[in-house]
Structure 1
Amino acid sequence: MSGLRIFMVAGEASGDLLAREVVEAIRQKADDVEFAGIGGQELASVGINSPFDISPLSILGFAEGIRAYGTVVKLADAAADAIIAFRPHAVVLVDSWGFMLRVAQRVRARAPEIKLIKLIGPQVWATRPGRAKTLAATVDHLLCMHDMETPYYAPFGLPTTVIGNPALSRNRPGNGAKFRAARGIGPDEQICLVLPGSRRSELAKVAPALLEAAKQVAKEKPDVRIVVSPAGNMADTFDETFPDVSGWAEVLHAPEERYDAMAAADVALACSGTVTSELAMQGTPMIVAYRTGWLTWALARGLLYKKHHITLLNIVSDDQEIVPEFVQTQQKPELIAGKAIEWLSDPEKLERQKDAQRAALSRMQGKGHSSAGISADAILSVARGQAVLPQE
């Protein structure tokens, strides 16, 4: 079959990056594919320009989602209109569960012949396993990260392909020495890296605690260099929200420096998310913080979330705390700073943390195939109406 049309939809920074990687992988495997899509800077970098701004989708939590419901519905309607107009053979819906479900339902109702592929499923293994049935009734194929997800979908007949953790597939070792040399930071000087989140809600609820913790680290240990690396999609918003940070820390604006900064850092203070896996790949000891709205948290802890931890390194380690987490009431700058100062003051503790993270990371490693490459093969098969073959 020739002349395939594939429509990509990505609603957040991590999804936008994965969507771009998948597009590149598909182009390496097939030269007969025409793309269109909705996304951000990453998809735009490979020639797929979004017809509207997706930044309003960078929301978090139940209460926040309720407030943004009208916007989400309007964007889902607009996305469905764009998809129908393009008449694709397949649509790839990347991450962003609530928004993508609404888009899929609209497309399925209007054009049931279009194949719908969900790239990264909801965390049914941690919360709300009923979403497996909902997804199975809506899409044709699921590309999920973990083997432990597939049994949730088997009873409902949804075909799944396990792609592994995309962050681990990237395997892009940063050049810490290059980063230090470019900034005149000696090999024996210590760096504390702050990763404040990739959503507006995270800049509001998590970033202030991380930044205040970094200030306390600098006050206690004035020789430590503080580096802040906002997510690319939030760089302008970060500068507007925290205009004074550049006065006491080095703020990175070049996305290509992100992994170099991770590799150079002695410790990272990070908002929970995909970035924790990226830090683990760079061998960077990390401390994780997170806070969401209280209604969201009460629902999650009381009814939905089945794990004790939120960081994937901890979850795969039999739900034990390998990476320190400071969540909700424990997200206090003095607690975060205290742990960072403890590590920075004791090289042996830093090394032990690296060892613990490496052991946890080994549990997350896949079969050697790239997540984007596995995804590309499956997407092409579904779009062509062929069986998806398992990876050898």
Structure 2
Amino acid sequence: MKPWRVFIVAGEPSGDELGAELVQALRARHPDIILAGVGGEKLAAVGIQSHVSIDGLSVLGLTEGLAALKTVNERAQATGEAAAGFKPDAVVLIDSWGFTLRAAKAIRARVPQAKLIKMIGPQVFATRPGRARTVAQVYDALFCIHDFEVPYYDGTGLPVTVIGNPAVARAQIGDGQGFRARQGLTDKKLVLLLPGSRRGEIERVAPSLEEAAALLCARDPSLHVVAVLAPSVAEPMRARAATWSFPHILVGEADKVDAFAAGDVALACSGTVTTEVALQGTPMVLGYRLGALSGFIILNFLLKSRFICLLNIALDRMAVPEFLQDNLRPEALAKAAGRLLYEPDAAADQKAALAEALNKMGRHDPPAAERAAEAVLKLLESAPDHMVSS
């Protein structure tokens, strides 16, 4: 029997990281499996060289998505061509709703026999539950993060597997004291500045986080800011940091976990990073801002959840303060972060809530990529032998 062929598609940094973990998990189980795909630096590091660029695909918001639509469509068609040339038995499309949906359709048109798997579904519990029907129409299987997502797919006939939260499962315990010692910051209180991984977030969210950090530092000389930069936005953030007047250091992915463990409080752009910070037990406040039109439509008509932070959604209460759209003001961020810095009871309460949320999110479950690899192989084993690649 010929080895299975699996094509992996990731359109943004978080999907690229999870895709790389999936590659390693699949190879560990089936060393002869043949893998290819579309992704970024993390997938390239495990030997998946992408012939389609994912630069510019990481967008969020209605008007922002429309502006990038031409690029998204072109890359989706190119992804379809790449998959057709590879002739996969299965295709795993990770996160990145708009791009992967178009890529899935392009692949289906060219390789109709391939099993299409959506890994990390749309947040139907938060906005647009009707997308569950779209997923069922386009894909052959769904791997989702949370148990509470499953009921949204009842009646669709789509097989759904819960793989858990990737950020929770990949958690490492950071060396906060070691980080402080290496950076010469043992006598400082550290404010983490986490500006996001998308260009739009750097434009719309980072300025308020930066101003909040400036306000905190102006009031307390013992504070030092640690900005943790995602590779996708490192260049524009370094340019912004050149204008900061408050004491700061910039660190990258290699120091991320240790930095999170070292922080006394975090000013965070909403996203996966909030879960990563919670895993180190560091209190935080978060903010987010979409373009004005996108934000108005989503917050007033599409958002079904009371919260946007998964930690708060898991708890069904506001443990991590959220500042959205016009409420994303530096003064409000600084005030909320100040409570966590200077009121021990407030910090302790949030830390306890974070631990509770992480337990609900499957902190002690097997890694998401491991569970996903098992599910991919099970799907392949149940399909007719090599109906695509033979």
Displacement of 1:341 after TM fit? 2.1
Displacement of 1:149 after TM fit? 1.4
SS at match of 2:266: strand
Displacement of 1:367 after TM fit? 5.9
Distance in 1, Cα, partners of 2:318 & 2:345: 19
Question: In structure 1, which of residues 310, 313, 317 is the aligned counterpart of residue 311 of structure 2?
Answer: 313
Question: 1:327-368 CA distances to partner (integer Å, 9 max, x unpaired)?
Answer: 111100111112222322223322222122212222212562
Distance in 2, Cα, partners of 1:160 & 1:366: 20
SS at match of 2:9: strand
Question: In structure 1, which of residues 330, 334, 344 is the aligned counterpart of residue 331 of structure 2?
Answer: 334
Partners of 2:224 and 2:247 within 8 A in 1: no
1:87 maps to 87
Question: 1:257-295 CA distances to partner (integer Å, 9 max, x unpaired)?
Answer: 101000000001100001111111110101000000122
- Residues 139 and 250 (structure 1 numbering): CA distance in 2 closer, same or farther, change over 3 Å? same
Equivalent positions of 1:48-87 (< 5 A) are 48-87=48-87
Structure 2: tracts of 5 or more residues without a match: 385-390
Question: In structure 2, which of residues 284, 287, 294 is the aligned counterpart of residue 286 of structure 1?
Answer: 284
Displacement of 1:133 after TM fit? 1.0
Q: Which amino acid aligns with 2:216?
A: V
Displacement of 1:208 after TM fit? 0.8
Displacement of 1:241 after TM fit? 4.7
Question: 1:289-344 CA distances to partner (integer Å, 9 max, x unpaired)?
Answer: 000012212221222111121101111112x2110111111100111112222322
Alignment pair present for 1:369 and 2:356: no
Q: Which amino acid aligns with 1:350?
A: A
Distance in 2, Cα, partners of 1:181 & 1:105: 51
SS at match of 2:203: helix
- Residues 247 and 191 (structure 1 numbering): CA distance in 2 closer, same or farther, change over 3 Å? closer
Displacement of 1:69 after TM fit? 0.8
Alignment pair present for 1:114 and 2:111: no
Alignment pair present for 1:357 and 2:354: yes
1:5 maps to 5
Give the superposed CA RMSD: 1.6
Equivalent positions of 1:18-57 (< 5 A) are 18-57=18-57
1:134 maps to 134
- Residues 89 and 386 (structure 1 numbering): CA distance in 2 closer, same or farther, change over 3 Å? closer
Displacement of 1:185 after TM fit? 1.6
Alignment pair present for 1:272 and 2:267: no
1:215 maps to 214
SS at match of 1:9: strand
1:230 maps to 229
Partners of 1:245 and 1:251 within 8 A in 2: no
Distance in 2, Cα, partners of 1:148 & 1:353: 23
Distance in 1, Cα, partners of 2:364 & 2:258: 26
Q: Which amino acid aligns with 2:132?
A: A
Distance in 2, Cα, partners of 1:189 & 1:23: 41
Distance in 2, Cα, partners of 1:278 & 1:50: 27
SS at match of 2:326: helix
Partners of 2:58 and 2:96 within 8 A in 1: no
Identity among equivalent pairs (%): 46
- Residues 288 and 125 (structure 1 numbering): CA distance in 2 closer, same or farther, change over 3 Å? same
Distance in 1, Cα, partners of 2:218 & 2:43: 41
- Residues 367 and 160 (structure 1 numbering): CA distance in 2 closer, same or farther, change over 3 Å? farther
Q: Which amino acid aligns with 2:280?
A: Q
TM normalised by structure 2 equals 0.95
Q: Which amino acid aligns with 2:78?
A: A
Question: 1:203-256 CA distances to partner (integer Å, 9 max, x unpaired)?
Answer: 111011111111111111111111000112221232245433497410113x12
Partners of 1:193 and 1:229 within 8 A in 2: yes
Displacement of 1:380 after TM fit? 1.7
Number of corresponding residues: 384
Q: Which amino acid aligns with 1:28?
A: A
